[in-house]
Structure 1
Amino acid sequence: MNGRYQHYLSLKTTHPQKHTSELAAQMAISEAELFFCRLGQDVVQLRPDFTALLHGLSLVGEIKNITRNPYAIHKLVGRYDNLRLGQHGIVLNPRALDLRLFPAQWHCAFAVDEQTTQGLRRSIQIFDNQGSAVLSVFTTEHTDLNAWSELISECSLRKHRELDLRPYPVPLHSGAVNAQALEHEWRAMTDVHQFFSLLKNHEVSRQQAFRAVGADLACLVDNDAVQQILVQAEKAQNEIMIFVASRGCVQIFTGPVDKVTAANKQLHVANPAFSLQLNMHNIAETWVTRKPTREGFVTSLELFAADGTQIAQLYGQRSEGMPEQLIWREQIDAVMNTGVAA
């Protein structure tokens, strides 16, 4: 039994409620390295053939998919139906499991059979080149366990493969911003997806772009805005969209919000097939942004941590080719009127 695994067992016994990422941080290693040290115990290493892995997941039926960053956890129950793979990947099931996948960022994967107080918990854990979680897939009581077992068997590595982790690349954001040109291009957009090209062309982060344009396009608001707008959406029962991203996956919830609770700045959203957890203490900036489309402006609420990580994005539900919900705009206006940041 290796020393890291013994250290992990000791920490897990002392801190049974802590997440694997927290235990890895205490051990001063990445989360992927923590799973690697458990090989031969309750973990199996999988081949980094992510095309085969994703196609296999499309055959197992219902699963619980978790996409997280250090500040938010987004859980959806659904199926890997309507999987499309190309340069990027899509699991396109609006109002169900809805993912945007970036396998070029994926590095390694593990299958885990972990005994818990609730019984055996089966999962597949995927990590990026830095050893941080991309996404986690858990079985449910409705998963086809035979198909799951076949997938694990087919994708398992017969011989362990050492991890080749790398430090995070330094963002190539220029110090100077041509605010006039950036704002001109922003106002000329006809589709929200053009915003990614705008950032790339100007070599700026989202927050740099927000600061460079007029307040009608991007405006700082109070960091309690996310709680306010979720409570409004819960009362009105209008459909909203909540995006949470890791470095290799964007996970999207679409629908009405059933239950919002907040205690000691811990915000929870709970639906039968969806949940969101975030600590509002981690929100350093909250922006309302408006991006032009052929159908009019699309408005978002975007949350950022102090290190620049985008914690989450919220939108009103909008189908392609349709204008934005009026009720969502009213909810955003109410947040801006009551919680504008200094």
Structure 2
Amino acid sequence: MNAYYQRYLTLKSEHTGKFARDFAGMIGISEAELCHARIGADAKPFTTDFPALLKELHKVGETMNIVRNEYAVHEHVGQYDNVKLGNHGGLVLNPRALDQRLFVGKWVSAFYIKEMTRRGEKESIQIFDGYGDAVLKIYKTDNTNRQEWDALIEKFTVEAQDEFTVSQLEHVSENAFFDAKKIEEEWRAMTDVHQFFTLLNRHNVTRQQAFSSVSDNLACQVDNSALSQILEMALNDGNEIMVFIGSRGCVQIFTGVIEKLTPKDNWLNIFNSKFTMHLMEDQIAETWVTRKPTKEGYVTSLELFAKDGTQIAQLYGQRTEGNLEQETWRNQINAISMKEKVA
């Protein structure tokens, strides 16, 4: 038994409310390195032929899919139908169901985990980036096709590597030299929200730098209580919203109405039948309302950032491409941005 795994067992017995991610941090290694240390006990090395895996996941039917960053967790029950793959990424395109944006080029390692938890035995496929952070976890549910799941696990289990290493995440300095006027001009000339990513790359700026450089009617910083207020309004008004939460390798999207909103301590929690969100409200350092032009008019979003620059989450009103923005959402955002604007 290796030292990391022994330490993991000790910590697990001492801290019943913690998760593998927490234990890895206590040990001083990445979660992927901890999974590698568990091989031979409750983990197996899994394929890195991710396109092949994604093409076959639909066979197992329902799964619970978890995407998270340091400050928010997005859990969605659904099926891997309508998977579309390109050279460096792909989509799981099922609006109002399992909806993901996949940056497969950043996926580096994977493990099959079969473990005993407080809620019984759990089986999952866990995928990690080059820094050892989880980008996506796919759990078997009671409704998963057991036979197909077992066949998938057997097919994609691989031989263990003797050596397993991860890269160290390096801090990237912000670009201090950019043309704010040009950014605003190009922002106003956009005809699709997806063009914003190209704009950021072209000027080598972060989202927050772009927001700070344009007029308030394009990006306006508001009070960090805006998220809790907008969720309360969406709950009360019953309008459909979209909640985007991502890791470095995957963004998962919920579309629908909020069924239950439960703040607890510093966490904002949404509990729907097939969607759960947990978000650390006290870690929100900046909140921005942004308006991006499309052929059908402006699309409005609420974007949340942590102190380290991580985008915690992004919210929109539900909108079908080609249609105008939802009026209820726009009114909710206008109420927030006018009331809570940061001077």
Which residue of 2 is the match for residue 131 of structure 1? 132
Which residue of 2 is the match for residue 41 of structure 1? 41
| 1:71 aligned partner, one-letter code | Y
Which residue of 2 is the match for residue 150 of structure 1? 151
Which residue of 2 is the match for residue 74 of structure 1? 74
| 1:337 shift after superposition | 2.5
User: Partner of 1:21: helix, strand, or coil?
Assistant: helix
Which residue of 1 is the match for residue 64 of structure 2? 64
Query: Could you tell me the TM-score, scaled by structure 1's length?
Result: 0.98
| 1:71 shift after superposition | 0.4
User: Partner of 2:262: helix, strand, or coil?
Assistant: strand
Q: Distance in 2 between matches of 1:320 and 1:96?
A: 17
| 1:25 aligned partner, one-letter code | G
Computed over aligned residues only, the root mean square deviation of the Cα atoms, in angstroms, reads: 1.1
| 1:173 shift after superposition | 3.8
- Residues 1:338 and 2:307 are matched in the alignment: no
Q: Distance in 1 between matches of 2:271 and 2:95?
A: 18
Which residue of 2 is the match for residue 16 of structure 1? 16
Q: 1:149 to 1:297 in 2, by over 3 A?
A: same
Q: Distance in 2 between matches of 1:327 and 1:242?
A: 16
| 2:9 aligned partner, one-letter code | L
Q: Distance in 2 between matches of 1:184 and 1:51?
A: 39
Which residue of 1 is the match for residue 108 of structure 2? 107
| Conserved? CA contact 1:301–1:315, under 8 Å | yes
Which residue of 1 is the match for residue 263 of structure 2? 262
Q: Spell out, residue by residue over 1:283-328, the C-alpha distance to the aligned partner (whole angstroms, 9 max, x if none).
A: 0000000000010000000000000000000000010100101110
Which residue of 1 is the match for residue 85 of structure 2? 85
| Conserved? CA contact 1:172–1:203, under 8 Å | no
Q: 1:270 to 1:222 in 2, by over 3 A?
A: same
Q: Distance in 2 between matches of 1:244 and 1:50?
A: 21
Q: Spell out, residue by residue over 1:25-63, the C-alpha distance to the aligned partner (whole angstroms, 9 max, x if none).
A: 111100101111000000000121111221221210000
Q: Distance in 2 between matches of 1:272 and 1:215?
A: 37
Q: Distance in 2 between matches of 1:308 and 1:171?
A: 11
Q: Distance in 1 between matches of 2:110 and 2:169?
A: 19
Which residue of 2 is the match for residue 290 of structure 1? 291
Q: 1:268 to 1:159 in 2, by over 3 A?
A: closer
| Conserved? CA contact 2:33–2:165, under 8 Å | no
User: Partner of 2:210: helix, strand, or coil?
Assistant: helix
User: Partner of 2:255: helix, strand, or coil?
Assistant: strand
- Stretches of structure 1 that go unaligned for 5 or more consecutive residues are none
Q: Spell out, residue by residue over 1:234-262, the C-alpha distance to the aligned partner (whole angstroms, 9 max, x if none).
A: 01111100000100001000001111121
Q: Distance in 2 between matches of 1:341 and 1:22?
A: 34
Q: Distance in 2 between matches of 1:244 and 1:321?
A: 24
| Conserved? CA contact 2:44–2:160, under 8 Å | no
| Conserved? CA contact 2:127–2:134, under 8 Å | yes
| Conserved? CA contact 1:177–1:212, under 8 Å | no
Q: Spell out, residue by residue over 1:121-150, the C-alpha distance to the aligned partner (whole angstroms, 9 max, x if none).
A: 010100000000101000111001111111
| 1:86 aligned partner, one-letter code | G
| 1:182 aligned partner, one-letter code | I
Q: 1:92 to 1:199 in 2, by over 3 A?
A: same
| 2:185 aligned partner, one-letter code | H
Q: 1:46 to 1:161 in 2, by over 3 A?
A: farther
User: Partner of 1:259: helix, strand, or coil?
Assistant: coil
Which residue of 2 is the match for residue 187 of structure 1? 188
Q: Distance in 2 between matches of 1:317 and 1:10?
A: 46
Q: Distance in 1 between matches of 2:269 and 2:117?
A: 23
Q: Distance in 2 between matches of 1:207 and 1:152?
A: 42
Which residue of 2 is the match for residue 304 of structure 1? 305
| 1:160 shift after superposition | 2.9
Q: Percent identity?
A: 51
Q: Distance in 2 between matches of 1:232 and 1:35?
A: 41
User: Partner of 1:59: helix, strand, or coil?
Assistant: helix
| 1:83 aligned partner, one-letter code | V
| 1:138 aligned partner, one-letter code | Y
Q: 1:265 to 1:337 in 2, by over 3 A?
A: farther
| 1:118 shift after superposition | 2.5
